[in-house]
Amino acid sequence: MLERYALEKYAPRIINSNIKTRRLGYIIALVKIIGNNFLFTDDALRRLESWAEAHQKEVEEYSGKSGLITASPKHYPAKRYFHLAKDLRLIKVSRSECAVTKIGQPILYLAESLRNPFDLTNEQICYLLKRILENDSDCFLQLLRSLEKYNEIKNIFTQFKKTLLDHLEKKIEKLGDILKSSEIKRRRDKIIRWTEERKYLEHIIYPRLDWMTDLKILNISKRKEGIYEFTEEGKSFLSFLNEMEKANLENFDAWLENRYYEIFGQCFIKKEKNLLTTLNSEEHVKLISDLLEDAFRKFSSPNLPLSHMSAITFLEYSCTKLVVMGIIPSFNQLKDLLKRMAGYRFQWQPSMEDGFIIKI
C-alpha cells in the first residue's frame, strides 16, 4: 500500500490559478511580509493589501493594470495570491497562522530589483520558474507547447482543453496503475465536464501567460500590445521542451534535480559560464564552505544547540546563487561535494526529499 505522501507524487501537477493571480512580484512580496514570523493569515493579507497600495505605481508602470490587488468588500485578490503562494509551497498555513516554508525561505535572501519589485531579477526568476515547474508542469508545459504552435491567443483558447486532456490521458496510460493515476483521472473527468470552456480556461491561461511574462519567457513590451512573442531566453528554453515533456511523463523531480539549473543557465544567463565540475578540488572546498557559512547565518535556527539546517533549503538557495554567478551546478554534484566537506555532517533522506546539514 502506498503511503499518502508517496501518492502525492502522482497527483496532477496543476496549480489552481485564478484570473487575478497574474503578477509574481506579489508572491515575493507576500513571502517577505511573512518573513521569519508566524503571522495570522488575516494580518498577512492585510499587509499584502497595503503593500500593494504602496506599490501600485510600480505595477502599473511595469505591466498596466493586470493582476493589480485592490481592496474591495466582495472580492479578495490578496487571498488568491496567498493561495498561489501556498500552491507553490512557499508558505504554509496551520490553524489561522501562516509561515514561510523551508522552500520559501531562500526567497527572503535573493537579489531583488531596486527599481521595480515586479521586474524580477535573474535569481528570482530562476527560483520561481523551478517552483512553477515542480507544481504546475502538467499545465505550464502544455501551454508552452500551445504557444509554440499557435501564436494567436484565440487559437490557444479553442484547442487548450484538448491539449490538456490528451496530455493527462498520456500520463494516466504511462502510470498504468489504478491507484497512482486516480487523482489524475479525477482531474481529467472534471475537465471533461466543463460546460463553459472559455470561462474556466481564462482562469488557467491568462495567469500563466503573465507568469511567463514575469519570468521573461514572453516579451513584455509586445505583451502590452496584445502580442505573445517569445524572448531570446524563452526561445532557448523552448528548445528543451521535448526533453521536459518526456521527463514530465517519467520522473520530473529527478529531471529537475539533474538538469534544471544547467538549462536555466544556458537559457537565461548571458555571461560566461563554467560547469561546477570544471573547478579543482581546492576551489570546490573554498566555494562550498563560503556557501555553507553564508547559508548557516541565514537559515539555521539560533535556538538549537548545534547549528542545523534543512538540506533542501541550502541546495535550492546555493544552486540559484551559483547559476546566476555563472557556475552551473546540479543537485547531485552539490550533494557529493557536501558529503566530502570536513567540519560538516550532511545526510540526505530520499523518502523525505530532504535532509539536513550540521556544523560540527
Q: Give the dihedral of Cα atoms 124, 252, 260, 285; nearest 10 deg.
A: 100
For residue 357, the surrounding DSSP H or E stretch is strand 354-359
Q: How far is the CB of 79 from DNA (least distance, A)?
A: 6
**Based on the number of CB atoms within 10 Å of its own CB, is 216 exposed (0-12), middle (13-18) or buried (19 or more)?**
buried
281 touching DNA, by CB under 7 A = no
Q: How far is the CB of 187 from DNA (least distance, A)?
A: 9
Q: By C-beta, is 71 or 108 nearer to DNA?
A: 71
Q: How far apart are CA 357 and CA 312, in angstroms?
A: 10
What is the identity of the amino acid at 39? L
195 touching DNA, by CB under 7 A = yes
Q: How far is the CB of 35 from DNA (least distance, A)?
A: 21
Edge-first strand listing for the sheet containing 344-349: 308-310, 354-359, 344-349
92 touching DNA, by CB under 7 A = no
Q: By C-beta, is 63 or 248 nearer to DNA?
A: 63
Q: How far apart are CA 295 and CA 316, in angstroms?
A: 11
Q: Which among 60, 58, 59, 32 has a CA at the least distance from the CA of 47?
A: 32
Query: Of the listed pieces 16-24, 52-60, 272-280, 294-302, which binds DNA according to CB under 7 A?
Result: 16-24
Q: Integer distance in angstroms from the first to the last C-alpha of the chain?
A: 39
CB atoms near residue 246 (< 10 Å): 11
Q: By C-beta, is 75 or 170 nearer to DNA?
A: 75
Q: How far is the CB of 330 from DNA (least distance, A)?
A: 34
Residue from 149, 199, 246, 297 in contact with DNA (CB under 7 A): 199
Query: HSE (CB half, 13 Å, CA atoms) of 5?
Result: 4
Q: Interface mask (CB under 7 A) for DNA, residues 49-88, using x and -?
A: ----------------xx-x-x-x-xxx--x---x-----
Report 146-175 residues binding DNA (CB under 7 A): 153-154
Q: By C-beta, is 130 or 208 nearer to DNA?
A: 208
19 touching DNA, by CB under 7 A = yes
196 touching DNA, by CB under 7 A = yes
Residue from 8, 61, 166, 202 in contact with DNA (CB under 7 A): 202
Note whether 324 and 261 are within 8 A (CB).
Answer: no
DSSP 250: S
With CB under 7 A as the rule, give the number of residues binding DNA: 27
Determine the 3-state secondary structure of 99 from DSSP: strand
Q: Which residues of 139-176 are buried (b: 16+ CB within 10 A; e: fewer)?
A: bbbbbbbbbeebeeeeebbeebbebbeebbeebbeebe
Q: By C-beta, is 66 or 142 nearer to DNA?
A: 66
4 touching DNA, by CB under 7 A = no
38 touching DNA, by CB under 7 A = no
Q: How far is the CB of 359 from DNA (least distance, A)?
A: 37
Q: By C-beta, is 79 or 131 nearer to DNA?
A: 79
Report 211-250 residues binding DNA (CB under 7 A): 226
Q: Which residues bind DNA (CB under 7 A)?
A: 16, 19-20, 65-66, 68, 70, 72, 74-76, 79, 83, 95-96, 153-154, 190, 193-196, 199-200, 202, 206, 226
